[in-house]
Amino acid sequence: MAYIDFIEKVHKKTTRDYLGERVIGVNKAECAKIAKKFDINYWDGDRKYGYGGFSYDGRWRPVADQIINHYNLKPGQKVLDIGCGKAYLLFEFSQSIPGIELSGLDISQYALDNAKDEMRPFLRLGNAIELPYKDKAFELVLSINTLHNLDLPDLERSLKEIERVGMGNKYIVVDSYRTEEEKVNLMYWQLTCECFYSPREWEWIFNRCGYSGDYSCIFYE
């Protein structure tokens, strides 16, 4: 297991007003309840409910290329993205490696219905704790900004499921904090997180669950 960052630059492209957008004058509990439906409000509604509009802008292409190069992916290999959303990352994989076999899974029907047209045939509705795939089916399993939305028992199940369906490389990204300031910012900003830990705690959980892949963390500086 190694710490490898592919998405810090994408994360930092978005500016965040932690207090103005998610705390002051906002009923945070109600916003979280709405966000956890993962429907239009979460993806394309007001910023207080989630992304505030999640549209394709090409920013995931460098991420896809870094992942492809690092894991030496080739045409004919199979990649699964758990929590694929609107499948922008998978689309970039398809553009960089024609012939790669892609699968995406997400809990949000709205996201799948509004995914890139080219990717919709390869997407399915489902959750991370019971993956509808055979053992050792994928050369690479990804899950970016998804697993921290599970409670701890389901997080353990999902990590074991990732191990089951992956035959080799795995890469996940989760929310985390290194300082008290980052912890507070995370609490201000998050809407859907159930698990948020320090990197040391994440590593402990990964080892306890038998997760053998790579990972990185999102920090709210």
Q: What does CATH list as the number for 8-43+56-218?
A: 3.40.50.150
Work out the widest C-alpha separation in the chain, in whole angstroms.
51
What are the sequence ranges of the domains in the chain?
Answer: 8-43+56-218
Q: Band the pLDDT of 200: cuts 50, 70, 90.
A: very high
Average pLDDT over residues 92-105: 98
What DSSP character marks residue 191? S
Give per-residue pLDDT as tens, 4-13.
999 888 887 7
The pLDDT of residue 151 is: 97
Measured on CA atoms in the order 157, 161, 164, 166, is the torsion positive or negative? negative
CA distance 36 to 17: 21
CA distance 129 to 87: 20
